[in-house]
Amino acid sequence: MNIIKPKWFLLATLSSLTMLSSNDIAIESIGINTGYSKIFYSSENLDIAKPTTHLYNLELYTIVENIFDTNTIKATLNYIYNKSDDLSDNNLLIGLNRYDKFDNFIFYSGLLVGYSQLEYQDDYFVDGLSIGIQMGTEFLFTDSLKFNINTKYLVPNYTINLAPKYSAKVTHTGTLSISIGLKYIFSTDTVGKKDIEIYHIQTDNESLNIELKNIADYETVEIDIDKELYGFVDNDNDGINDMLDNCSNSVENEIVDELGCAKDSDDDYILDRLDRCKNSAENEIVDEFGCAKDSDNDKVIDRLDKCMNSVENEIVDNVGCAKDSDDDAIIDRLDRCPNSIKDAIVDDFGCSENHEKERIEKMINSLGLLN
């Protein structure tokens, strides 16, 4: 098997980037780092010429955005080449990183997984899967460049069988890399929209000052807008600028809707500013304060009152009509005998003939006129 040379790794990376540029997925940035790597290994025969453990490091990478519905988690494609006098280590990896933005820098950390090859003295090589972790920080260098410091630890767990030249096996147990470099940021629409936020708004009678903050580049831009020129004037001070205000002469402290007109939340034709009962039922008959109306003060609201002209202090039923508890056709307010038996013949005061006779007998007995 032939060793995959670095140029083929680079070609594979660029081909992947071309595919990722379709639809909403986009390349946010590309970067290059260089630095120092140390390979850790173990050997079953210490008499062999030990592989060099100190290597120089070269890394090419790109950051891909819009794979996830967040600007905090992003994917990366990484090509890492480590080289010493007798070792070369090639790695093509996919990363998943979390980016946390602070005032002057970005801190990131994540996981790496991919394919790696290790070659020893141009004679022996192994390849397979690798996993690892990385962390780093970025600082603004120019408008489109960031200074990057990165550290990684990859675990491929390779074993190189040096037979027949040697009778030893060398197990590659890990690679620690520390590197620095620059990252170039592309000016794409998706990056711009996500990285700009309104940082501060200040307004006065004549102008509107909006302070925009570019989260990615840590820059703050101030925009002064002439209120009158751009329709931000609010002559009636109701919180709705005149360009959108359909009622531009609202009274002071008026409660208005999104069109700047006096609000009537329960549609009872009493404005919220004057309404003491803001949750009136549909089609409620209300008074001047927006509360259910009771025109005859019989404690039955007009919407339910079938007898709207009850006299003062009338005893009424649940529909507002004069009450006749014993159904003798004499209303309770005039009934002197409110407990007449059913179908009894009563006089104008609601009392029957027997009732009057019993009343007279009780009166005579109380005076002691009868034995």
Mean pLDDT of 70-88: 88
Higher pLDDT, 66 or 172: 172
Do 222 and 136 lie in one domain? The reply is: no
Is residue 97 pLDDT above 90, yes or no? yes
Do 165 and 218 lie in one domain? The reply is: no
Residue 215 falls within a domain, yes or no? yes
Higher pLDDT, 27 or 154: 154
Domain edge (last residue) among 226, 248, 283: 226
Please report the pLDDT score of residue 154 as a whole number: 94
Residue 252 falls within a domain, yes or no? no
Residue 144 falls within a domain, yes or no? yes
Mean pLDDT of 185-213: 53
Please report the pLDDT score of residue 362 as a whole number: 61
Residue 308 falls within a domain, yes or no? no
Residues shown for the chain: 371
Q: What CATH code is carried by the domain that includes residue 28?
A: 2.40.160.20
Do 36 and 67 lie in one domain? The reply is: yes
Residue 50 falls within a domain, yes or no? yes
Do 145 and 219 lie in one domain? The reply is: no
Mean pLDDT of 61-66: 84
Do 108 and 208 lie in one domain? The reply is: no
Do 172 and 132 lie in one domain? The reply is: yes
Residue 136: give the domain boundaries. Answer: 6-186
Is residue 188 pLDDT above 50, yes or no? no
Confidence at 21, pLDDT banded by 50, 70, 90: very low
Residue 263 falls within a domain, yes or no? no
Q: Are 290 and 266 in contact (CB under 8 A)?
A: yes
Residue 62 falls within a domain, yes or no? yes
* Most confident among 40-44, 92-96, 248-252, 278-282 (mean pLDDT): 92-96
Is residue 126 pLDDT above 60, yes or no? yes
Neighbours of 363 (CB within 10 A): 10
Do 10 and 100 lie in one domain? The reply is: yes
Is residue 144 pLDDT above 90, yes or no? no
Higher pLDDT, 270 or 26: 270
Residues in contact with 242: Cβ distance below 8 Å, sequence separation at least 6, in sequence order:
231, 233, 234, 235, 248
Please report the pLDDT score of residue 356 as a whole number: 61
Do 30 and 106 lie in one domain? The reply is: yes
Do 17 and 109 lie in one domain? The reply is: yes
Percent of all residues in the chain with a pLDDT value above 90, rounded to a whole number: 19
Token output for 257: 């809707």
Do 79 and 119 lie in one domain? The reply is: yes
Do 208 and 122 lie in one domain? The reply is: no
Do 168 and 48 lie in one domain? The reply is: yes
Mean pLDDT of 27-54: 83
5-9, 167-171, 205-209: least confident range: 5-9
Percent of all residues in the chain with a pLDDT value above 70, rounded to a whole number: 69
Domain edge (last residue) among 211, 226, 241: 226
Residue 298 falls within a domain, yes or no? no
Domain edge (last residue) among 127, 154, 186: 186
- 3-state SS, one letter per residue, for the chain: CCCCCHHHHHHHHHHHHHHHCCCCCEEEEEEEEEEEEEEEEEECCCCCCCCCCEEEEEEEEEEEECCCCCCCEEEEEEEEEEECCCEEEEEEEEEEEEEEECCCCEEEEEEEEEEEEEEECCCEEEEEEEEEEEEEEEEECCCCEEEEEEEEEEECCEEEECCCCCCCEEEEEEEEEEEEEEEEECCCHHHHHHHEEEEEEEECCCEEEEEEEECCCCEEEEEEEECCCCCCCCCCCCCCCCCCCCCCCCCCCCCECCCCCECCCCCCCCCCCCCCCCCCCCCCCECCCCCECCCCCCCCCCCCCCCCCCCCCCCECCCCCECCCCCCCCCCCCCCCCCCCCCCCECCCCCEHHHHHHHHHHHHHHHCCCC
* Domains: count for the chain: 3
Confidence at 10, pLDDT banded by 50, 70, 90: low
